[in-house]
Amino acid sequence: MLQKNNAANGIVPAERLGSVSEYYFSRKLKEVAKMNAEGKNVISLAIGSPDMPPSKATVDELCRVAKLPEAHGYQPTMGTPELRKAMSQWYKRWFDVDLNPDNEIQPLIGSKEGILHVTLAFVNPGDKVLVPNPGYPTYTSLSKLLGAQVVNYNLRPENDWQPDFEELESMDLSGVKLLWSNYPNMPTGANARRETYEKLVDFAKRHNIVVVNDNPYSFILNNHPISLLQVPGAKDCCIEFNSMSKSHNMPGWRIGMLASNMPGWRVGLAASNSQFIQWILKVKSNIDSGTFRAIQLAAAKAYDNDEQWHHAANIDTYSRRRVYAEKIMQAMNCEYEKTQVGMFLWGRIPDKYKDAEELTEKVLQEGKVFITPGFIFGTNGSRYVRISLCAKDEKLKEALERIENMKL
Protein backbone atom coordinates (compact mmCIF):
# COMPACT_ATOMS: atom_id res chain seq x y z
CA MET A 1 0.00 0.00 0.00
CA LEU A 2 2.83 2.39 0.88
CA GLN A 3 4.54 1.74 -2.46
CA LYS A 4 1.30 2.46 -4.34
CA ASN A 5 0.73 5.68 -2.40
CA ASN A 6 4.32 6.80 -3.00
CA ALA A 7 4.00 6.08 -6.72
CA ALA A 8 0.77 8.02 -6.80
CA ASN A 9 2.50 10.93 -5.10
CA GLY A 10 5.26 10.90 -7.68
CA ILE A 11 7.91 9.39 -5.39
CA VAL A 12 10.07 6.90 -7.23
CA PRO A 13 13.43 5.29 -6.39
CA ALA A 14 16.69 6.41 -7.93
CA GLU A 15 17.30 5.13 -11.45
CA ARG A 16 20.41 3.26 -10.29
CA LEU A 17 18.19 0.75 -8.44
CA GLY A 18 17.00 -0.43 -11.84
CA SER A 19 20.51 -1.76 -12.55
CA VAL A 20 20.49 -4.28 -9.68
CA SER A 21 18.15 -6.71 -7.98
CA GLU A 22 17.93 -7.72 -4.32
CA TYR A 23 20.94 -9.84 -3.34
CA TYR A 24 20.12 -13.53 -3.92
CA PHE A 25 20.85 -14.57 -0.33
CA SER A 26 18.81 -11.70 1.08
CA ARG A 27 15.81 -12.89 -0.91
CA LYS A 28 16.35 -16.63 -0.45
CA LEU A 29 17.00 -16.47 3.28
CA LYS A 30 13.53 -14.93 3.72
CA GLU A 31 12.09 -18.04 2.07
CA VAL A 32 14.20 -20.32 4.26
CA ALA A 33 13.16 -18.40 7.39
CA LYS A 34 9.51 -18.87 6.42
CA MET A 35 10.07 -22.60 5.95
CA ASN A 36 11.73 -22.82 9.36
CA ALA A 37 8.85 -20.89 10.94
CA GLU A 38 6.59 -23.61 9.54
CA GLY A 39 8.70 -26.23 11.34
CA LYS A 40 10.56 -27.57 8.29
CA ASN A 41 14.02 -27.33 9.90
CA VAL A 42 16.07 -26.39 6.85
CA ILE A 43 19.81 -27.02 7.08
CA SER A 44 21.71 -24.19 5.41
CA LEU A 45 24.91 -25.04 3.56
CA ALA A 46 24.75 -21.87 1.51
CA ILE A 47 26.47 -19.01 3.35
CA GLY A 48 30.19 -18.62 4.01
CA SER A 49 29.80 -17.35 7.57
CA PRO A 50 32.24 -19.10 9.95
CA ASP A 51 30.44 -20.67 12.89
CA MET A 52 33.44 -20.89 15.23
CA PRO A 53 34.55 -18.24 17.74
CA PRO A 54 37.73 -16.15 17.47
CA SER A 55 40.65 -17.06 19.69
CA LYS A 56 40.22 -16.63 23.47
CA ALA A 57 42.90 -13.91 23.54
CA THR A 58 40.93 -11.96 20.93
CA VAL A 59 37.66 -12.06 22.88
CA ASP A 60 39.45 -11.26 26.17
CA GLU A 61 41.00 -8.16 24.58
CA LEU A 62 37.60 -7.07 23.24
CA CYS A 63 36.09 -7.27 26.73
CA ARG A 64 39.06 -5.51 28.36
CA VAL A 65 39.05 -2.53 26.03
CA ALA A 66 35.25 -2.23 25.94
CA LYS A 67 35.31 -1.51 29.69
CA LEU A 68 37.56 1.53 29.22
CA PRO A 69 35.66 4.87 29.21
CA GLU A 70 37.95 6.33 26.54
CA ALA A 71 37.22 3.47 24.12
CA HIS A 72 33.76 4.69 23.18
CA GLY A 73 34.44 7.88 21.25
CA TYR A 74 34.96 8.43 17.55
CA GLN A 75 37.97 6.64 16.14
CA PRO A 76 40.38 7.65 13.35
CA THR A 77 39.12 6.72 9.90
CA MET A 78 42.56 5.42 8.99
CA GLY A 79 42.41 2.97 11.91
CA THR A 80 44.32 2.88 15.18
CA PRO A 81 48.12 2.73 15.03
CA GLU A 82 47.99 -0.58 16.93
CA LEU A 83 45.79 -2.21 14.29
CA ARG A 84 47.75 -0.90 11.32
CA LYS A 85 51.01 -2.10 12.89
CA ALA A 86 49.52 -5.55 13.57
CA MET A 87 48.33 -5.79 9.96
CA SER A 88 51.76 -4.82 8.68
CA GLN A 89 53.49 -7.38 10.90
CA TRP A 90 51.00 -10.07 9.82
CA TYR A 91 51.80 -9.49 6.14
CA LYS A 92 55.52 -9.68 6.90
CA ARG A 93 55.13 -12.83 9.01
CA TRP A 94 53.00 -14.83 6.59
CA PHE A 95 53.88 -13.41 3.16
CA ASP A 96 57.27 -11.71 3.71
CA VAL A 97 55.72 -8.53 2.29
CA ASP A 98 56.85 -5.18 3.69
CA LEU A 99 54.03 -2.66 4.22
CA ASN A 100 54.47 0.71 5.85
CA PRO A 101 51.76 0.79 8.56
CA ASP A 102 51.58 4.58 8.34
CA ASN A 103 50.55 4.90 4.70
CA GLU A 104 50.35 1.54 2.85
CA ILE A 105 47.51 -0.07 4.81
CA GLN A 106 43.88 0.97 5.24
CA PRO A 107 41.71 -0.96 7.73
CA LEU A 108 38.22 -1.62 6.42
CA ILE A 109 34.84 -2.70 7.73
CA GLY A 110 35.02 -5.54 5.21
CA SER A 111 35.42 -6.44 1.56
CA LYS A 112 32.07 -5.02 0.44
CA GLU A 113 33.07 -1.67 1.89
CA GLY A 114 36.42 -1.99 0.18
CA ILE A 115 34.78 -2.65 -3.19
CA LEU A 116 32.66 0.47 -2.73
CA HIS A 117 35.56 2.70 -1.69
CA VAL A 118 37.96 1.51 -4.38
CA THR A 119 35.35 1.95 -7.10
CA LEU A 120 34.54 5.45 -5.88
CA ALA A 121 38.23 6.31 -5.77
CA PHE A 122 39.24 5.00 -9.20
CA VAL A 123 36.17 4.73 -11.46
CA ASN A 124 34.07 7.47 -13.01
CA PRO A 125 30.54 6.82 -14.29
CA GLY A 126 30.84 5.24 -17.72
CA ASP A 127 34.30 3.77 -17.08
CA LYS A 128 34.73 0.03 -17.49
CA VAL A 129 35.65 -2.58 -14.89
CA LEU A 130 36.73 -6.16 -15.61
CA VAL A 131 34.83 -8.68 -13.46
CA PRO A 132 35.42 -12.46 -13.38
CA ASN A 133 32.70 -14.86 -14.56
CA PRO A 134 32.04 -16.68 -12.27
CA GLY A 135 32.78 -14.24 -9.47
CA TYR A 136 31.57 -12.58 -6.29
CA PRO A 137 28.24 -10.89 -7.22
CA THR A 138 29.11 -7.68 -5.35
CA TYR A 139 31.85 -6.84 -7.86
CA THR A 140 29.10 -6.52 -10.46
CA SER A 141 26.29 -5.00 -8.38
CA LEU A 142 28.33 -2.21 -6.79
CA SER A 143 29.98 -1.37 -10.10
CA LYS A 144 26.55 -0.99 -11.69
CA LEU A 145 25.19 1.07 -8.77
CA LEU A 146 28.09 3.49 -9.23
CA GLY A 147 27.53 3.84 -12.96
CA ALA A 148 30.43 1.73 -14.23
CA GLN A 149 30.24 -0.55 -17.26
CA VAL A 150 30.82 -4.17 -16.25
CA VAL A 151 32.87 -6.21 -18.70
CA ASN A 152 33.14 -9.89 -17.83
CA TYR A 153 36.26 -11.96 -18.37
CA ASN A 154 35.96 -15.73 -18.37
CA LEU A 155 37.19 -18.25 -15.85
CA ARG A 156 36.76 -21.77 -17.20
CA PRO A 157 37.37 -25.27 -15.81
CA GLU A 158 39.64 -26.23 -18.72
CA ASN A 159 41.99 -23.46 -17.58
CA ASP A 160 41.67 -24.48 -13.90
CA TRP A 161 39.51 -21.37 -13.33
CA GLN A 162 42.51 -19.09 -13.91
CA PRO A 163 42.25 -16.03 -16.19
CA ASP A 164 42.80 -16.62 -19.90
CA PHE A 165 45.34 -13.89 -20.58
CA GLU A 166 45.26 -14.37 -24.36
CA GLU A 167 41.52 -13.72 -24.25
CA LEU A 168 42.03 -10.73 -21.95
CA GLU A 169 44.59 -9.23 -24.33
CA SER A 170 42.18 -9.60 -27.26
CA MET A 171 39.42 -7.63 -25.53
CA ASP A 172 38.70 -3.94 -26.07
CA LEU A 173 40.43 -2.50 -23.01
CA SER A 174 39.74 1.15 -23.78
CA GLY A 175 38.21 2.86 -20.76
CA VAL A 176 38.99 -0.02 -18.38
CA LYS A 177 40.06 1.29 -14.96
CA LEU A 178 39.89 -1.78 -12.67
CA LEU A 179 40.23 -5.54 -12.87
CA TRP A 180 38.74 -7.54 -9.99
CA SER A 181 40.59 -10.72 -9.08
CA ASN A 182 39.88 -13.22 -6.30
CA TYR A 183 42.39 -15.94 -5.42
CA PRO A 184 42.06 -18.36 -3.78
CA ASN A 185 38.91 -18.19 -5.84
CA MET A 186 35.33 -18.05 -4.68
CA PRO A 187 33.19 -19.84 -5.81
CA THR A 188 35.41 -22.32 -7.69
CA GLY A 189 38.00 -23.12 -5.00
CA ALA A 190 40.88 -22.63 -7.45
CA ASN A 191 44.06 -21.83 -5.56
CA ALA A 192 46.25 -18.80 -6.07
CA ARG A 193 49.24 -19.28 -8.36
CA ARG A 194 52.42 -17.25 -8.46
CA GLU A 195 52.32 -17.42 -12.28
CA THR A 196 48.80 -15.94 -12.34
CA TYR A 197 49.83 -13.15 -9.98
CA GLU A 198 52.88 -12.32 -12.10
CA LYS A 199 50.74 -12.16 -15.24
CA LEU A 200 48.20 -9.92 -13.49
CA VAL A 201 50.90 -7.46 -12.46
CA ASP A 202 52.36 -7.42 -15.97
CA PHE A 203 48.86 -6.94 -17.46
CA ALA A 204 48.14 -4.06 -15.06
CA LYS A 205 51.38 -2.24 -15.85
CA ARG A 206 51.13 -2.56 -19.63
CA HIS A 207 47.50 -1.43 -19.80
CA ASN A 208 47.50 1.13 -16.98
CA ILE A 209 44.77 -0.80 -15.16
CA VAL A 210 44.51 -1.21 -11.38
CA VAL A 211 44.22 -4.87 -10.35
CA VAL A 212 42.37 -5.49 -7.08
CA ASN A 213 42.90 -8.96 -5.61
CA ASP A 214 40.35 -10.03 -3.00
CA ASN A 215 42.23 -12.50 -0.79
CA PRO A 216 40.16 -13.63 2.25
CA TYR A 217 40.49 -17.42 1.76
CA SER A 218 44.25 -17.91 1.56
CA PHE A 219 44.58 -19.78 4.89
CA ILE A 220 41.58 -22.11 4.64
CA LEU A 221 42.44 -25.69 3.63
CA ASN A 222 45.61 -24.22 2.16
CA ASN A 223 49.09 -24.97 3.49
CA HIS A 224 50.84 -22.57 1.14
CA PRO A 225 49.15 -19.13 1.27
CA ILE A 226 50.54 -16.48 -1.06
CA SER A 227 49.85 -12.80 -1.76
CA LEU A 228 49.69 -10.79 -4.96
CA LEU A 229 51.95 -8.25 -3.27
CA GLN A 230 54.80 -10.76 -3.23
CA VAL A 231 55.29 -10.03 -6.93
CA PRO A 232 57.93 -7.31 -7.45
CA GLY A 233 56.27 -4.06 -8.50
CA ALA A 234 52.78 -5.19 -7.53
CA LYS A 235 52.26 -2.33 -5.08
CA ASP A 236 52.74 0.15 -7.91
CA CYS A 237 49.61 -0.98 -9.76
CA CYS A 238 47.68 -3.34 -7.49
CA ILE A 239 45.58 -3.35 -4.34
CA GLU A 240 44.98 -6.40 -2.15
CA PHE A 241 42.07 -6.94 0.21
CA ASN A 242 42.35 -9.31 3.12
CA SER A 243 39.67 -10.19 5.64
CA MET A 244 39.56 -11.51 9.18
CA SER A 245 36.01 -12.75 8.57
CA LYS A 246 37.10 -16.11 7.21
CA SER A 247 40.57 -16.95 8.51
CA HIS A 248 40.12 -15.54 12.05
CA ASN A 249 36.43 -16.52 12.58
CA MET A 250 35.26 -12.91 12.89
CA PRO A 251 32.57 -12.37 10.22
CA GLY A 252 30.37 -10.19 12.41
CA TRP A 253 33.23 -7.98 13.61
CA ARG A 254 33.53 -6.14 10.27
CA ILE A 255 37.27 -5.46 10.21
CA GLY A 256 39.22 -5.73 7.00
CA MET A 257 42.26 -4.27 5.40
CA LEU A 258 43.19 -2.85 2.08
CA ALA A 259 46.72 -3.99 1.63
CA SER A 260 46.67 -3.63 -1.01
CA ASN A 261 40.23 -8.35 5.79
CA MET A 262 36.21 -11.68 11.52
CA PRO A 263 32.56 -12.03 9.79
CA GLY A 264 30.40 -10.30 12.42
CA TRP A 265 33.37 -8.21 13.55
CA ARG A 266 33.82 -6.63 10.13
CA VAL A 267 37.58 -6.37 10.13
CA GLY A 268 39.58 -6.23 6.94
CA LEU A 269 42.33 -4.36 5.17
CA ALA A 270 43.45 -2.93 1.90
CA ALA A 271 47.14 -2.69 1.06
CA SER A 272 48.85 -0.87 -1.77
CA ASN A 273 51.14 2.08 -2.41
CA SER A 274 50.74 5.24 -0.33
CA GLN A 275 49.07 7.25 -3.12
CA PHE A 276 46.36 4.62 -3.74
CA ILE A 277 45.73 4.32 0.00
CA GLN A 278 45.45 8.11 0.32
CA TRP A 279 42.79 8.22 -2.42
CA ILE A 280 40.83 5.42 -0.74
CA LEU A 281 41.10 7.16 2.64
CA LYS A 282 39.78 10.36 1.07
CA VAL A 283 36.61 8.46 0.10
CA LYS A 284 36.30 6.53 3.35
CA SER A 285 36.72 9.61 5.55
CA ASN A 286 33.62 11.10 3.94
CA ILE A 287 31.52 7.98 4.50
CA ASP A 288 32.22 6.63 8.00
CA SER A 289 33.73 7.70 11.31
CA GLY A 290 35.90 4.72 12.17
CA THR A 291 35.37 1.40 13.92
CA PHE A 292 34.78 0.84 17.65
CA ARG A 293 38.17 0.96 19.37
CA ALA A 294 37.64 -2.32 21.27
CA ILE A 295 37.06 -4.15 17.99
CA GLN A 296 40.19 -2.65 16.44
CA LEU A 297 42.45 -3.56 19.36
CA ALA A 298 40.95 -7.04 19.66
CA ALA A 299 41.52 -7.50 15.93
CA ALA A 300 45.15 -6.46 16.42
CA LYS A 301 45.41 -9.19 19.07
CA ALA A 302 43.89 -11.72 16.64
CA TYR A 303 46.65 -11.07 14.13
CA ASP A 304 48.99 -12.62 16.75
CA ASN A 305 47.23 -16.01 16.67
CA ASP A 306 49.90 -18.70 16.44
CA GLU A 307 50.30 -21.39 13.80
CA GLN A 308 48.70 -24.02 16.07
CA TRP A 309 45.50 -21.95 16.28
CA HIS A 310 45.46 -21.38 12.53
CA HIS A 311 45.97 -25.06 11.77
CA ALA A 312 43.22 -26.18 14.15
CA ALA A 313 40.71 -23.59 12.91
CA ASN A 314 41.51 -23.37 9.20
CA ILE A 315 42.89 -26.81 8.32
CA ASP A 316 41.73 -29.47 10.81
CA THR A 317 38.12 -28.34 11.26
CA TYR A 318 37.46 -27.65 7.60
CA SER A 319 39.18 -30.89 6.55
CA ARG A 320 36.66 -32.90 8.60
CA ARG A 321 33.76 -30.94 7.16
CA ARG A 322 35.10 -31.23 3.63
CA VAL A 323 34.73 -35.03 3.82
CA TYR A 324 30.97 -34.62 4.38
CA ALA A 325 30.70 -32.01 1.62
CA GLU A 326 32.37 -34.34 -0.85
CA LYS A 327 29.95 -37.14 0.11
CA ILE A 328 27.02 -34.73 -0.42
CA MET A 329 28.37 -33.91 -3.90
CA GLN A 330 28.60 -37.63 -4.61
CA ALA A 331 25.03 -38.16 -3.36
CA MET A 332 23.87 -35.51 -5.88
CA ASN A 333 26.02 -37.13 -8.61
CA CYS A 334 28.02 -33.92 -8.98
CA GLU A 335 31.63 -33.83 -10.17
CA TYR A 336 34.22 -31.83 -8.23
CA GLU A 337 37.98 -31.23 -8.06
CA LYS A 338 39.65 -32.50 -4.89
CA THR A 339 42.37 -29.84 -5.20
CA GLN A 340 39.97 -27.05 -4.19
CA VAL A 341 40.84 -24.79 -1.23
CA GLY A 342 38.74 -22.38 0.82
CA MET A 343 35.53 -22.80 2.79
CA PHE A 344 33.31 -24.04 -0.04
CA LEU A 345 33.09 -27.00 -2.40
CA TRP A 346 32.19 -26.36 -6.05
CA GLY A 347 30.67 -29.13 -8.15
CA ARG A 348 29.28 -29.65 -11.65
CA ILE A 349 25.70 -30.93 -11.80
CA PRO A 350 24.56 -33.94 -13.87
CA ASP A 351 23.36 -33.33 -17.42
CA LYS A 352 19.81 -34.43 -16.58
CA TYR A 353 19.08 -31.08 -14.89
CA LYS A 354 18.35 -28.08 -17.09
CA ASP A 355 20.31 -25.85 -14.71
CA ALA A 356 21.72 -25.73 -11.18
CA GLU A 357 18.62 -24.13 -9.70
CA GLU A 358 16.49 -27.12 -10.70
CA LEU A 359 18.72 -29.29 -8.50
CA THR A 360 19.07 -26.84 -5.60
CA GLU A 361 15.31 -26.23 -5.47
CA LYS A 362 14.66 -29.97 -5.45
CA VAL A 363 17.12 -30.43 -2.60
CA LEU A 364 15.60 -27.49 -0.69
CA GLN A 365 11.97 -28.46 -1.11
CA GLU A 366 12.33 -32.23 -0.72
CA GLY A 367 15.47 -32.63 1.39
CA LYS A 368 15.18 -29.37 3.35
CA VAL A 369 18.84 -28.54 2.65
CA PHE A 370 19.78 -25.13 1.26
CA ILE A 371 22.79 -25.10 -1.09
CA THR A 372 23.82 -22.39 -3.53
CA PRO A 373 23.16 -22.55 -7.29
CA GLY A 374 26.17 -21.37 -9.25
CA PHE A 375 24.24 -19.10 -11.62
CA ILE A 376 24.35 -16.31 -9.03
CA PHE A 377 28.08 -16.00 -9.69
CA GLY A 378 27.71 -15.63 -13.47
CA THR A 379 26.81 -17.59 -16.57
CA ASN A 380 29.91 -19.77 -16.29
CA GLY A 381 28.49 -21.09 -13.02
CA SER A 382 25.08 -22.04 -14.40
CA ARG A 383 25.81 -25.79 -14.23
CA TYR A 384 27.49 -25.75 -10.83
CA VAL A 385 26.47 -25.76 -7.17
CA ARG A 386 28.39 -24.57 -4.12
CA ILE A 387 28.37 -26.14 -0.65
CA SER A 388 29.52 -24.13 2.37
CA LEU A 389 31.68 -25.78 5.03
CA CYS A 390 30.39 -23.32 7.65
CA ALA A 391 28.18 -25.83 9.45
CA LYS A 392 28.83 -28.13 12.40
CA ASP A 393 29.87 -31.69 11.61
CA GLU A 394 26.55 -33.07 12.88
CA LYS A 395 24.58 -30.73 10.62
CA LEU A 396 26.63 -31.74 7.59
CA LYS A 397 26.11 -35.40 8.49
CA GLU A 398 22.34 -34.86 8.77
CA ALA A 399 22.27 -32.97 5.47
CA LEU A 400 24.10 -35.88 3.84
CA GLU A 401 21.57 -38.37 5.21
CA ARG A 402 18.64 -36.28 3.96
CA ILE A 403 20.08 -36.01 0.44
CA GLU A 404 21.07 -39.68 0.32
CA ASN A 405 17.47 -40.57 1.22
CA MET A 406 16.25 -38.56 -1.79
CA LYS A 407 18.04 -41.04 -4.11
CA LEU A 408 18.80 -38.40 -6.73
**Res. 6 pLDDT band, cuts 50 70 90:** low
Could you write out the DSSP letters of every residue in 100-134? -TTTSBEEES-HHHHHHHHHHHH--TT-EEEEEES
pLDDT of 337 reads 97
Q: What is residue 154's three-state secondary structure? A: strand
**Res. 8 pLDDT band, cuts 50 70 90:** low
Beta bridge partners, 252, equal 263, 264
At the topology level, CATH places domain 310-406 in: Aspartate Aminotransferase, domain 1 (3.90.1150)
Residue type for position 19: S
Delimit the domains of the chain by residue range: 74-302, 310-406
- Least confident segment among 217-226, 240-249, 339-348, 363-372: 240-249
pLDDT digits (tens, 9 = 90+) for 138-176: 999 999 999 999 999 999 999 999 999 999 999 999 999
Among residues of the chain, what percentage have pLDDT more than 90?
A: 76
The dihedral sign for the CA sequence 27, 28, 33, 38:
positive
Among residues of the chain, what percentage have pLDDT more than 70?
A: 92
Averaged over 300-322, what is the pLDDT?
A: 92
What are the angstrom distances between the C-alpha of 208 and each of 9, 33, 116, 169, 325? 48, 46, 21, 13, 42
3-state secondary structure string across 190-258? CCCCHHHHHHHHHHHHHHCCEEEEECCCCCCCCCCCCCHHHCCCHHHHEEEEEEHHHHCCCCEEEEEEE
**Res. 261 pLDDT band, cuts 50 70 90:** very low
> What is the number of other CB atoms lying within 10 angstroms of the CB of residue 95?
20
pLDDT of 398 reads 98
Residue type for position 351: D
**Res. 245 pLDDT band, cuts 50 70 90:** low
pLDDT of 247 reads 53
pLDDT of 113 reads 86
Write the CATH number of the domain with boundaries 74-302. Answer: 3.40.640.10
Question: How far from each other are the two terminal CA atoms of the chain, in whole angstroms?
Answer: 43
Q: For residue 316, is pLDDT > 70?
A: yes
pLDDT of 253 reads 46
Task: For residue 159, give every residue at least 6 positions away whose Cβ sits within 8 Å of its Cβ, in sequence order, or none.
Answer: none
